[in-house]
């Protein structure tokens, strides 16, 4: 495609099919590669500021002033470094982003896009132009994905929206972000077809995890997902209390019985692969608020338990992303939804629960509720869908936070091949995993004198929790458990994950499907 500047050829809105809480985002657009003469502009430069590309062109245009400014600020183009110049060379603002090496992996391209979007998040510029010297459409699409992820905000409950505090009627951080690339319209096509559905799905997962408990409960979660799935080739099944009682789902019912808001089991089925092929099953813990039940948590940081349904948000959002990009795969996503509250009807420590599989467990702690709801969800999807593999996702234990912090999610699996695929997908997507031990010896620590096993009490906490969950999965079936406690919420921003709910796992599972099951 010609490098000569031409009129805007492709435009897309970040508005979504569901009621999204995102405010103050820039729309994304794609245009031909060219250096604007003025305005708010971002460019990328490799380490050591090579003689070529947009950096060199602006430097020549400014009579060497750009390179002198870089030298004065000690900017050399190293990865994750920026040079931010206001009123330079005829530009309202020029942001130079260092990328280090010349060739970037997709997750590194996404970081560049996110870094640019965040740098201009408080700018009043109505148009920001990111000039990328590469010519690959997929690279530009990853820049757009990173920009969309990085600029996410949740302003739904603010009386003043982002930007209003600055007295700007138009609100800062709005307008458009134009990605200028030699790929032109092809970059926009690649983004819309393959990556916008993922960006939108991550936003959905973040929205759901950020909503307070008085705004999101099991039935409302189902309603939000129905709205998000509208128009997509997804089949939805919902089991209410009566249906779960008929099936004997004592695990999920025991957790939900203390709340006036009844539990639900939600399934989304996407048939994008060959007819008759066994689906991939993604099962998520969906505790819309976790007080701990009778084993009540301390007040400190209990507010964060509104996000104890992130696993469920992740798996349903992943199914929506796969359907949105027409992935050639069969998938079923299962959300085990309940609110864990203390009341006169709540389950107690010492109670024995019979699950739908017939297996029983003794409750040691009602605060070990995530594994309780997953028992019935795992049994049901195995019976109904005969999946080729199962991955469950849960904010399960504080123990995994102590072990890994928020840098990695814990991976537990009895299947080395599946574990290897998930580790690779985590590395590629930027949502990284660390494999943890899963020993049969952990079962001895869950022995009960009156039931098949206890729901906790042994150590290590994360490993014992994973072992308990695995007891409801056929030993012949490839299965992995992802403990995302710690990864689900970020106290500080990274280029593609603003502070708050991360939506962890959507990009990971999407990459897992792309690389190993399409």
Q: List the catalytic residue out of 297, 359, 388, 490.
A: 297
**Residue 287 — φ and ψ, nearest 5°?**
-85, 105
Q: How many CB atoms lie within 10 A of CB 474?
A: 12
Looking at the chain, the number of H-run helices and the number of E-run strands are 15, 20
Q: Are strands 234-239 and 352-354 parallel, antiparallel or unpaired?
A: unpaired
Whole-number Cα distances in Å, 174 to 22, 177, 234, 252, 355: 12, 9, 33, 43, 50
Active site residue 507: no
Residue 308 known to bind ligand: yes
Per the CB < 8 A criterion, the answer to whether 150 and 113 are in contact is: yes
By the 10 Å C-beta count (0-12 exposed, 13-18 middle, 19+ buried), 99 is classed as buried
369 assigned to a ligand binding site? yes
According to the annotation, is 189 in a ligand binding site? no
Query: CB pairs under 8 A, 24+ apart, for 80-87?
Result: 80/111, 80/115, 82/115, 82/119, 84/119
Question: What is the rounded CA–CA span in Å between residue 298 and residue 504?
Answer: 26
Q: Name the catalytic one among 26, 182, 325, 371.
A: 371
Alpha helices in 396-460 (DSSP H): 398-404, 416-429
* Distance in angstroms (rounded) separating the CA atoms of residues 477 and 2: 53
Rounded to the nearest 10 degrees, the angle between the axes of helix 506-516 and helix 416-429 is 120
The helix (H) or strand (E) run that includes residue 331 is strand 330-340
48 is in an annotated binding site: no
Has 491 been labeled as part of a binding site?
no
Q: Can 371 be counted among the known catalytic residues?
A: yes
Q: What three-state secondary structure class fits 372? A: helix
Binding residue ranges: 285, 290, 308, 367, 369
- Residue numbers annotated as active site: 297, 371
- Which residues are annotated as part of the binding site for Mn(2+)? 285, 290, 308, 367, 369
């Amino acid at each position: 495609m010609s490098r000569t500047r031409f009129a805007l050829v492709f435009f897309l809105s970040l508005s979504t099919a569901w009621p999204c809480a995102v405010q103050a985002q820039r729309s994304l657009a794609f245009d031909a590669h060219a250096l604007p003469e003025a305005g708010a502009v971002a460019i990328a430069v490799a380490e050591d500021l090579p003689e070529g590309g947009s950096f060199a062109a602006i430097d020549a245009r400014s009579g060497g002033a750009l390179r002198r400014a870089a030298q004065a600020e000690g900017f050399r183009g190293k990865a994750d470094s920026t040079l931010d110049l206001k009123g330079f060379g005829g530009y309202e603002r020029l942001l130079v982003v260092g990328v280090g090496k010349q060739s970037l992996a997709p997750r590194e391209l996404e970081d560049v896009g996110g870094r640019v979007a965040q740098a201009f998040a408080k700018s009043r510029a109505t148009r920001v132009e990111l000039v990328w010297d590469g010519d690959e459409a997929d690279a530009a699409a990853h820049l757009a994905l990173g920009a969309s992820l990085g600029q996410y905000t949740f302003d739904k409950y603010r009386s003043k929206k982002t930007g209003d505090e600055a007295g700007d009627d138009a609100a800062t951080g709005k307008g458009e972000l134009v990605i200028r690339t030699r790929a032109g319209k092809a970059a926009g096509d690649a983004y819309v077809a393959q990556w916008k559905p993922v960006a939108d799905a991550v936003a959905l997962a973040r929205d759901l995890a950020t909503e307070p408990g008085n705004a999101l409960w099991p039935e409302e979660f189902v309603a939000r997902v129905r709205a998000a799935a509208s128009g997509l080739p997804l089949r939805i099944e919902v089991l209410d209390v009566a249906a779960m009682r008929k099936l004997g789902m004592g695990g999920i019912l025991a957790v939900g019985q203390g709340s006036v808001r009844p539990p639900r089991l939600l399934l989304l089925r996407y048939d994008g692969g060959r007819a008759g092929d066994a689906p991939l099953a993604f099962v998520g813990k969906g505790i819309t608020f976790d007080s701990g039940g009778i084993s009540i948590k301390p007040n400190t940081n209990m507010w964060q338990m509104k996000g104890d349904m992130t696993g469920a948000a992740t798996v349903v959002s992943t199914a929506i992303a796969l359907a949105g990009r027409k992935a050639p795969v069969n998938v079923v996503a299962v959300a085990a939804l309940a609110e864990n509250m203390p009341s006169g009807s709540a389950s107690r420590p010492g109670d024995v629960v019979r699950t739908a599989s017939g297996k029983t467990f003794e409750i040691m702690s009602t605060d070990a509720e995530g594994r309780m709801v997953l028992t019935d969800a795992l049994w049901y999807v195995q019976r109904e869908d005969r999946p080729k593999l199962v991955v469950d996702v849960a904010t399960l234990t504080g123990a995994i936070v102590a072990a890994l912090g928020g840098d990695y999610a814990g991976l537990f699996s009895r299947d080395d091949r599946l574990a290897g695929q998930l580790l690779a997908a985590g590395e590629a997507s930027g949502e990284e995993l660390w494999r943890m031990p899963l020993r049969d010896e952990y079962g001895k620590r869950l022995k009960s004198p009156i039931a098949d096993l206890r729901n906790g009490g042994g150590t290590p906490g994360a490993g014992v929790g994973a072992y308990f969950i695995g007891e409801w999965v056929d030993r012949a079936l490839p299965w992995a458990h992802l403990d995302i406690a710690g990864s689900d919420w970020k106290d500080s921003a990274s280029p593609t994950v603003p502070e708050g709910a991360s939506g962890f796992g959507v990009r990971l599972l999407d990459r897992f499907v792309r690389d190993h099951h399409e």
